[in-house]
Amino acid sequence: MIVEDKTFAQHALEKVRVLQNKLHQAAKKDQNRTFGILYDKVCSLEVLWVSWIRVQKNKGAPGVDGRTILAIKEYGAIKFLQEIREELASKKYAPKPIKRVYIKKSNGKLRPLGIPTVKDRIVQGAVKLVIEPIFEANFLEGSYGFRPKRNCQDAIKAVRKWVTYGYDTVIDADIASYFDTIDHDILMSLVKRRISDKWIIRLIKGWLRHAIFKQDKIALSEKGTAQGSVISPLLANIYLHSLDKYWKQKHDEWDTQMVRYCDDFVVLIRNKDPNPYMESLEYMLSKLKLKLSEEKTSIVKAEEGFNFLGVRLILNNSRRSKDRKFCYGFPTSKSMKNLRSKIRQEIGRDYKPSLSHKIDFLNPILQGWTNYYNWLNSAEQFRKIDKYVTRKLNLWNRTKRQAKKKKYNWLSTQDLYKQGLYKVGGHLCYSW
């Protein structure tokens, strides 16, 4: 029996790292190679363990079986993983139905999420650990979403770079209901270009044609991938890699650049008519049985400004040289509005806690938002948030103390900073 301790955890992480490196190097060496013996690696206890660690880190609600991460810990993680390994090795594993829930989007519409069971998330994570390095060998430079060692900031930096270099016409693109409209047959044909292991293929097919549990009814999914499942982001990138590849082969990179964060992407054009590029984009997406959202897709000049990944980007005269232009970035009005909403909800109308208690709960919200934008040109927006927090905390504190407006001693931002409030405007790091 393996003891669940740090030694085994370190051993598992190192073994998986070595495995991933070998698979990536082999895939990089031969871009057309298909890998036929991978299932045994998915069944490895070390791979399942690393997947389990990631599932724990991401937390998440239980699936249709109601089994939580905490319940599995109490049961015994190693025992649970060994049971999964035996199911996989004996080819008896079958995914459970996905629990369908809806979350409200900022525009008032509902976004469907699929919540697999913890067991299914672990197996999906194990498959992802094994096949991701293979597909990473093919993915192109302009793709940033849900990839190892890449993030939103990298994608934003790339857009700023190309716009500053003169790619000042922008196709701000949005695919209509992307995750819900992915064609299963096309996706599987793309997966099979690199993976020929029939048991891996069978697992992925089972997750794609998943059963959806909704309001005591079960229905099979005919298309799309479940947002909320561990494997979906990788499958989504595999699907749109065809678009990346087409764009690179079809269009001269001197004239156009594509920067994509999963299904959120922009096409940047330099000194050319954008309409042929829009037609080319629509043509390739139609081959993938996808469509652009008419209401969210537009052609704009960078001087007018456009939004990408929560950042408002605009080409303007450089503050350092009047003869040059620079692409500036700062939080979008939508992001500002969402943060204000979170601040209001956190402060609320519960007047029993102390002011310091309210500050302690506000700080993680402010810090997380600040960390996303502090490397941009966000000084003005940061000052506005500091003032907004100061005002809201004072209004709450005045009501708590039942003080009249004229008699209440208004706390300055400096007073609140001394009580531990996170100073949004004090965490700017200029990179331009």
pLDDT digits (tens, 9 = 90+) for 394-429: 999 999 999 988 889 999 999 999 999 999 987 776
Pair of tokens at residue 309: 């990944």
Q: Which residue has the higher pLDDT, 426 or 24?
A: 24
What is the DSSP track for 171-189? EEEEBTTHHHH--HHHHHH
Residues in the chain: 432
Residue 212 has what pLDDT?
61
Question: C-alpha angle 91/97/103, rounded to 5°?
Answer: 140
Give mean pLDDT, residues 230-234: 95
What is the pLDDT confidence band of residue 114, given thresholds at 50, 70 and 90? confident
pLDDT digits (tens, 9 = 90+) for 89-113: 999 999 998 888 877 766 666 777 8
Give mean pLDDT, residues 295-321: 94
In the chain, the percentage of residues whose pLDDT exceeds 70 is 94
CA dihedral (151, 154, 157, 158) positive or negative: negative
Is residue 269's pLDDT more than 80? yes
Pair of tokens at residue 318: 């450089």
Using alpha carbons, select from 165, 138, 173 the residue that is nearest to residue 248: 138
Is residue 373's pLDDT more than 80? yes
pTM of the model: 0.91
Give mean pLDDT, residues 317-341: 92
Beta-carbon contacts of 91 under 8 Å, excluding residues fewer than 6 positions away, are 199
What is the pLDDT confidence band of residue 3, given thresholds at 50, 70 and 90? very low
Residue 226 has what pLDDT?
82
Residue 116 has what pLDDT?
92
pLDDT digits (tens, 9 = 90+) for 135-185: 999 999 999 999 999 999 999 999 999 999 999 999 999 999 899 899 999
Q: Which residue has the higher pLDDT, 1 or 329?
A: 329
Q: pLDDT averaged over the chain?
A: 92
Give mean pLDDT, residues 44-56: 96
What gap in Å lies between CA 391 and CA 253, rounded to an integer?
49
CA dihedral (347, 352, 355, 360) positive or negative: negative
What is the pLDDT confidence band of residue 209, given thresholds at 50, 70 and 90? confident
Residue 213 has what pLDDT?
55
Pair of tokens at residue 42: 């998915």
Q: E-strand spans in 280-333?
A: 298-301, 306-308, 311-317, 325-331
Helix runs in 225-354, H state only = 232-250, 274-287, 333-347
Give mean pLDDT, residues 338-358: 95
Q: Which residue has the higher pLDDT, 263 or 99?
A: 263
What gap in Å lies between CA 185 and CA 188, rounded to an integer?
5
Q: Which one-letter DSSP state was computed for residue 424?
A: G
Q: How many helices (H) and strands (E) does the chain have?
A: 16, 11
Is residue 82's pLDDT more than 90? yes
Give mean pLDDT, residues 244-250: 97
Residue 59 has what pLDDT?
87
